[in-house]
Amino acid sequence: MRRRNFIKGAGAALTGSMFIPSGILSAAGMPVSANDKINIGVIGCNGMGWSDTNSLLKMSDVDLVAICDVDQNVIDKRLADYAKLRKNVPKTYKDYRELLNNKDIDAVVIGTPDHWHCKIMVDAVQAGKHVYVEKPIANSIAECDLMVAAQEKTGKIVQAGQWQRSGPHYKKAVEIVQSGVLGKIRLVKVWAYQGWMKPVNVVPDSAAPAGVDYDFWLGPATKRAFNANRFHFNFRWFWDYAGGLMTDWGVHEIDIALYAMKALAPISVMAAGGKLAYPDDASETPDTLQAIFQYENFNMLWEHATGIDSGPYNRTEGIAFIGNNGTLVVNRGGYEVIVEHEAKGYGTGGAAKMEIIEGYKKPNELNHLDLHTENFIQAIKKNSQAFLNTPIRSGSVAAVNAQMGNIAYKTGSKVFWDSKLNMFKDNAEANKFINPAYHNGWKVPTV
């Protein structure tokens, strides 16, 4: 494609277009044969697990036949929610292993806290199920590697829940970056400024709520007394179960950044930050963090802050590809290209270094999660892992890099990665964080 035609077509390719999943369209058309239906089960359905399920159920060729959660209160709520959508009554489970024994289930959604993702996903593919696993795919580097190996050994279809990959304007942004029109890209900025996040107030330990199998919720995590702050949504801010904003939001943004730059593992990472906004709240993970990732031909800067919305380029979240000719800034709302100009003295205003690329604003009615779940179902029907927008191996890249950022923060050192040995160079402390420690009788899965 000629450069001029590419630039002119970048915005036009998206403007006025509507990308509607075929499965959503089928919901309003002819009934789907039972032989063509995909039966799903959801494991962990309090938050994103249920959002993913709702998205899948917009397709008439998908049926929900099983619900699993350690909290009976959540199960009861989801059964009531589901009764408003479909007529069948899904089977319910407290133990995910019993759900996996259900031969009627073709695929599962894993929406548990991060520390459970690896064990359940490996067990699921070994039980013959396809998997849609929420991000971040795991809570350690070694678990990410295990999950990739399990998918490749079993051949089951596994999609990572990094749904920005399915967004049409993200795909177009990646095309622009890879076309070369921005010039040499020396720095990529990725960030999440989350003004809605307030301090997590300290509360005392207590008994687990009625209906909650707390020991099963802990699973392989360190044995601790129940505390409401560590349960359900706020588990994200405690190291036993997750990695804070770096892995919660970071994998979405880092995923697009590294996918566009065709990068896998960094040469080095260093990080600094801490609990600078809310030093006395209950959270363990940093509310403020900057991490610098060095790759072969560029650097990536990650930063996050809680309680603040005014991030770089006046966006709460996003990715900026900073090139010699221009900068492309993309987030969930769309993208724009900021053109560089030849300098005149100490100012700017000279000739533009590239032609103008029209920006794009995403229509409110376009749901990228729906596109992602539709892609998952289509891949199952095609029996093609390559058809996925975020196959587990590709999706693991962002999770591994985010884990490295947290490890650099935890150790307070600049860490250097040896891709051949799959470990940090001359840093025993950093290497201790590569492998997870499973507790309470649970074992790291084997592949």
- Domain of 120, CATH number, reads 3.40.50.720
The strand pair at 415-418 and 423-424 is best described as antiparallel
Task: Report the distance separating Cα 320 and Cα 331, nearest Å.
Answer: 9
Q: Could you give the 3-state DSSP secondary structure of residue 202?
A: coil
- Residues 91, 155, single domain; the answer is yes
Kindly state whether residue 420 falls inside one of the protein's structural domains. yes
Percentage above 70 pLDDT, the chain: 91
| 32 pLDDT more than 70 | no
pLDDT of residue 65: 98
- Residues 128, 214, single domain; the answer is no
For residue 51, the 8-state DSSP code is H
Kindly state whether residue 373 falls inside one of the protein's structural domains. no
pLDDT of residue 15: 43
- Give how many domains the chain has, as a whole number: 2
| 25 pLDDT more than 50 | no
* Torsions phi, psi for 14 (to 5 deg): -110, -30
pLDDT of residue 2: 39
Q: Which residues contact 446 (CB under 8 A, 6 or more apart)?
A: none
| 234 pLDDT more than 60 | yes
Kindly state whether residue 338 falls inside one of the protein's structural domains. yes
Mean pLDDT value across the chain: 93
Kindly state whether residue 369 falls inside one of the protein's structural domains. no
Per-residue pLDDT tens digits for 238-270: 999 999 999 999 999 999 999 999 999 999 999
Residue 30 banded pLDDT, cuts 50, 70, 90? very low
- Residues 74, 139, single domain; the answer is yes
Task: Report the distance separating Cα 25 and Cα 28, nearest Å.
Answer: 6
Q: What is the largest CA-CA distance in the chain?
A: 72
* Torsions phi, psi for 74 (to 5 deg): -70, -40
The CATH number of whichever domain residue 413 belongs to comes to: 3.30.360.10
Kindly state whether residue 3 falls inside one of the protein's structural domains. no
- Residues 246, 343, single domain; the answer is yes
Q: Which amino acid makes up residue 405?
A: G
Task: Find the DSSP H helices in 336-415.
Answer: 368-382, 392-411
Kindly state whether residue 336 falls inside one of the protein's structural domains. yes
pLDDT of residue 14: 61
Q: Which amino acid makes up residue 144?
A: C
- Helix (H) or strand (E) holding 304, with range, is strand 299-306
Token pair listed for 298: 């560029």
Residue 429 banded pLDDT, cuts 50, 70, 90? very high
Domain that holds residue 22: 15-164
- Residues 155, 214, single domain; the answer is no
Least confident range of 26-30, 130-134, 177-181, 207-211? 26-30
pLDDT of residue 5: 45
- Residues 88, 196, single domain; the answer is no
pLDDT of residue 8: 47
Per-residue pLDDT tens digits for 88-104: 999 999 999 999 999 99
Q: Which of residues 133, 164, 195 is at a domain's end?
A: 164
Place of tokens 């990068």: 263
Least confident range of 137-146, 242-251, 343-352? 343-352
- Residues 175, 201, single domain; the answer is yes
Q: Could you give the 3-state DSSP secondary structure of residue 10?
A: helix
Percentage above 90 pLDDT, the chain: 90
Task: Report the distance separating Cα 424 and Cα 432, nearest Å.
Answer: 10
Mean pLDDT, rounded, for 306-310: 95
Q: Which of residues 164, 188, 206 is at a domain's end?
A: 164
Task: Report the distance separating Cα 72 and Cα 45, nearest Å.
Answer: 11
Kindly state whether residue 375 falls inside one of the protein's structural domains. no
Mean pLDDT, rounded, for 372-381: 98
pLDDT of residue 36: 84
- Residues 103, 190, single domain; the answer is no
Mean pLDDT, rounded, for 343-363: 86
- Residues 176, 42, single domain; the answer is no
- Residues 135, 213, single domain; the answer is no
Residue 21 banded pLDDT, cuts 50, 70, 90? very low
Kindly state whether residue 216 falls inside one of the protein's structural domains. yes
Per-residue pLDDT tens digits for 166-188: 999 999 999 999 999 999 999 99
